[in-house]
Amino acid sequence: QKEVEQDPGPLSVPEGAIVSLNCTYSNSAFQYFMWYRQYSRKGPELLMYTYSSGNKEDGRFTAQVDKSSKYISLFIRDSQPSDSATYLCAMSGAGGTSYGKLTFGQGTILTVHP
Amino acid sequence: NAGVTQTPKFRILKIGQSMTLQCAQDMNHNYMYWYRQDPGMGLKLIYYSVGAGITDKGEVPNGYNVSRSTTEDFPLRLELAAPSQTSVYFCASISNVVGTEAFFGQGTRLTVV
């Protein structure tokens, strides 16, 4: 079983739709949860960063973490064609030798068409 | 600030050849990482470093070597290239302030033929 599982998609939605991206994980030591966005032939860029359980909102983006279910989600409201990219969930432990070492999901390819 | 700079951007190697992928950061970050990204597979950690002179293996270190003689530079060495090393390689760095983001380079696209 992979430590982090992410639905690879691809996902195709019309402009203005609400997008839901999800990851499950098996390692209880994960404390930091991130969503990265990666445009074609570019490096990943941090989109959202959450510590432990809870919700975090930033504009059209909302990240949710449910540690009891080992499940994280990213919601995109009013999706735009510029949101078309690969979305990667990533996780890491709290500190010590785990610090900064990210475990990634497989990535979900999202296309928002006008 | 340039952030994390990787060179070269593209490279084609023949089986058995060697090369060094360069990575430099100008943010004075102690922590640096090398990941590889295969299609549909996310990123996997190859090697990492917590400071100059300190390196350690990640999830997929076989076939690679690293060194960290300065805070700024973290080169990745492939000694005997194999087709299985065809991938996109990303270097990343992060500060030691908890809660800050990891910054990634633009990647090196390597093909071994």
pLDDT tens figures, B15-53? 999 999 999 999 999 999 999 999 878 899 999 999 999
Owner of token pair 């010590």: A96
Confidence of residue A97 (pLDDT cuts 50, 70, 90): low
B106 CB within 8 Å of a chain A CB: yes
Contact partners, residue B29, CB within 8 Å, separation at least 6: B71, B93, B94, B95, B96, B103
Judge: A102–B33 Cβ closer than 8 Å, yes or no. Answer: yes
Of the listed ranges A11-20, B59-68, B95-104, the least confidently predicted one is B95-104
Other Cβ atoms closer than 10 A to B107: 23
Question: What is the percentage of chain B residues whose pLDDT exceeds 90?
Answer: 84
Q: Cα(A31)–Cα(A27) distance, rounded to whole angstroms?
A: 10
Question: What does the CA dihedral A113, A75, A94, B58 come to, rounded to 10 degrees?
Answer: -20
Chain B residues whose beta carbon lies within 8 Å of the beta carbon of residue A103? 45
- What average pLDDT does range A55-69 have in this prediction? 95
Other Cβ atoms closer than 10 A to A47: 19
Contact assessment for residue A31 and residue A16, using Cβ atoms and an 8 Å cutoff? no
Owner of token pair 């960290």: B68
Residue in B7, B43, B101 to test binding to A, most A beta-carbons within 10 Å:
B43
List, for residues B66-81, the tens digit of each pLDDT value: 999 999 999 999 999 9
Q: Cα(B81)–Cα(B73) distance, rounded to whole angstroms?
A: 22
Which chain A residue is nearest to residue B91, measuring alpha carbons? A43
B89 CB within 8 Å of a chain A CB: no
Judge: A44–B104 Cβ closer than 8 Å, yes or no. Answer: yes
List, for residues A28-37, the tens digit of each pLDDT value: 989 899 999 9
pLDDT for residue A73: 97
Confidence of residue A64 (pLDDT cuts 50, 70, 90): very high
Taking one residue from A and the other from B, the number of pairs with CB-CB distance under 8 angstroms is: 60
Chain B residues whose beta carbon lies within 8 Å of the beta carbon of residue A105? 42
- What average pLDDT does range B7-17 have in this prediction? 97
Chain B residues whose beta carbon lies within 8 Å of the beta carbon of residue A49? 99, 101
pLDDT for residue B53: 93
Judge: B43–A101 Cβ closer than 8 Å, yes or no. Answer: no
Residue type, B59: E
Confidence of residue B99 (pLDDT cuts 50, 70, 90): low
Owner of token pair 């994280």: A72
For B85, the 3-state DSSP assignment is: helix
Chain B residues whose beta carbon lies within 8 Å of the beta carbon of residue A97? 56
Judge: B107–A41 Cβ closer than 8 Å, yes or no. Answer: yes
Q: Is the pLDDT score of A94 beyond 90?
A: no
